[in-house]
Amino acid sequence: MSNLIKNAVGRLVPTEINGEKAIPFQGVGKYRPEGRKAAPPIRTSADYPADGDKIVADMKTALKNAGLRDGMTISTHHHLRNGDQVANAVFAAAAELGVKDLRWFPSASFPVHEPQIELLESGVIHHIEGSMNGPLGNYCSTGKMRGMAVLRSHGGRYQAVQDGEVHIDIAVIAAPTADPFGNATGDRGPTACGLLGFALADSEYADHVIAVTDNLVPFPCIPWQIQGNNVDQVVVMDSIGDASKIVSGTTQITKSPDRLLIAELTARFCDEAGIVRDGFSFQAGAGGTALSFAIFLRDMMRERNIKARFVRGGSNQYLVDMLEEGLTDYILDGQTFDLEGVRSMRENPGHQNTSPFTSYNWHGKGNFASMLDVVVLGATEVDVNFNANVVTHSDGRLLHGIGGWMNCLASKCTILPIPAFRDRIPVLVDEVTTLCGPGELIDVIVTERGITINPLRQDLLAKVQGSSLPIVDIHDLKAEIEGICGGAPAKPDLGEKVVAAIKWVDGTVIDCVREVKV
């Protein structure tokens, strides 16, 4: 058992994770990285086919050629979200090859990856480092995984690979279209998913890179979102997945009157605070409330003839409509959330794909996230100090990934539009179960029972003073909610064992997750 130490936000966090030293969170912008970026081995073209044909027979052959052995780190990506069939194929092949104790380093895992539980049990996979949505998160929560999970934001994953904190031995990249040289794109082909940005760090820094496609085209595959010059081998599969499942349930607009009210209040707040003006920028998450907010905003922009300079996606049909209607110059897209997003990215030069490097990497020369005028994000819990949780439920279970959430907190105005309670359990609490976002970065919380503004943002308070918005104090709001729900929520029943570490955008440990008692 690792020692625990109290970090700058008062959380007890492990000083060692899976045998490696971990640095406790030191405060926003406080930790200064040292040293140089990770440096992959120098290769020579003498070792690669002159005709550019890197195709090998199958996944097993590719893994063998890559020198797969016990204890290696294998990465995969969630561009196909719950439609992905590549990660399962990789570990099935690894199991057949008889290797053990692999570290799986996905950009995120989804319910479709539930079969990996068997391989975690049989010893093929030692542990998962990456967001776990659903069954794998639940498995981890109950303390069954041998190693400690490590959850990072999209930007944090790039940072960890770039900084050499995570060394990837073999990266396997699902490619909806690729050529024999390994150039690959996600914006076309039968399994088109949009972009492949989550695999960028892996393609740049992994020792060995395998591209897997079900749509092989003659060289050159254009565009090349992943560059064949970074790819060692190409595997052709019958199908890499089901692109229709990139659309998750949360990309539908909410029908709940409460949620619609929250969305509307959020849009009105942006207006009253002077954020909605010509040339502004915004980013809204994938949830139904965030989507509805975007619709309210769009209507406002149409009415007043206001044009955004750029909007950030997760793109979807609504953002695409805005682009095509001329309500924004650009979509800067990190991940397409529906097939309209994929189409637009393929067709429209104003629909620009981005990566965790451009958008989110804290250990870069700046990134896009801090330039956003406003971002609208979700949360599972928020506390009276505006600290927020995005990974665990009120029962302590680890069921969600971080995504770009932590990175987006760097924006000029961060708003969390959230329901006051879920299943009669208040979302506003004294202390969040897991602290993923420090309160100093969270500016506004919008509920159906009022809007509360972080006292650190006196500028925002001043701007909406005298407006018709229902501005309330966070303590008053919390009391009101507890009145309705019959008190504060019960503390989750947690054990001592740390099952997951939560890393901040700079690689330090901001919190950890304890096992739930079952």
Sole binder of a second copy in the list 35, 257, 486, 487 (CB under 8 A): 35
Stretch that binds a second copy, among 117-125, 216-224, 260-268, 435-443 (CB under 8 A): 216-224
Cα→Cα distances 420→440, 449, 482, Å: 21, 7, 9
Nearer to a second copy, 10 or 49 (CB): 49
- Residue 172 Cβ, how far from a second copy at the closest point, in Å? 15
We find the least distance from the C-beta atom of residue 339 to a second copy, in angstroms, to be 20
344 binds a second copy (CB under 8 A): no
Cβ–Cβ < 8 Å for 361, 271: no
Question: Residue written as tokens 């250990």?
Answer: 363
Neighbours of 371 (CB within 10 A): 16
Determine the interface stretch with a second copy among 35-43, 83-91, 248-256, 394-402 (rule: CB under 8 A): 35-43
Contact code string over 227-266 relative to a second copy, x by CB under 8 A: xxxxxx----------------------------------
Q: Contact with a second copy (CB under 8 A): which of 12, 16, 26, 33?
A: 33
Sequence-distant (≥ 6) Cβ neighbours of residue 360 within 8 angstroms:
153, 154, 155, 156, 158, 334, 367, 368, 369, 404, 407, 505
Q: Report helix, strand or coil for 486.
A: coil
CB of 161 to a second copy, least distance (A): 12
Task: Write down the least CB distance from residue 115 to a second copy, Å.
Answer: 31
Do residues 210 and 62 touch, judged by C-beta distance below 8 A? Answer: yes
Specify the pairing of strand 444-447 against strand 450-453. Answer: antiparallel
Spatial distance between the Cα atoms of 294 and 145, rounded to a whole number of angstroms: 39
At closest approach, how far in Å is the CB of 214 from a second copy? 21
User: What is the spatial distance between Cα 37 and Cα 518, in angstroms, rounded to a whole number?
Assistant: 42
Instruction: Give residues 295-324 in contact with a second copy (rule: CB under 8 A).
Output: 309-310
Q: State the amino acid at position 373 in one-letter form.
A: D
Q: Is 443 in the site for a second copy (CB under 8 A)?
A: no
User: What tokens appear for 37 in the block?
Assistant: 């970026």
Q: Minimum CB separation from a second copy for residue 297, in Å?
A: 20
Residue type, 440: E
Binding segment (CB under 8 A) for a second copy, from list 39-47, 145-153, 246-254, 266-274: 39-47
For residue 316, count other CB atoms closer than 10 A to its CB: 24
DSSP, collapsed to helix, strand or coil, labels residue 361 as coil
Q: Which stretch binds a second copy (CB under 8 A): 26-34, 127-135, 166-174, 416-424?
A: 26-34
Residues that bind a second copy (CB under 8 A): 29, 31-46, 48-52, 54, 162-163, 181-182, 209, 218-220, 222-224, 227-232, 279, 309-310, 330, 332, 349-350, 352, 357-358, 361-368, 370-371, 410, 506
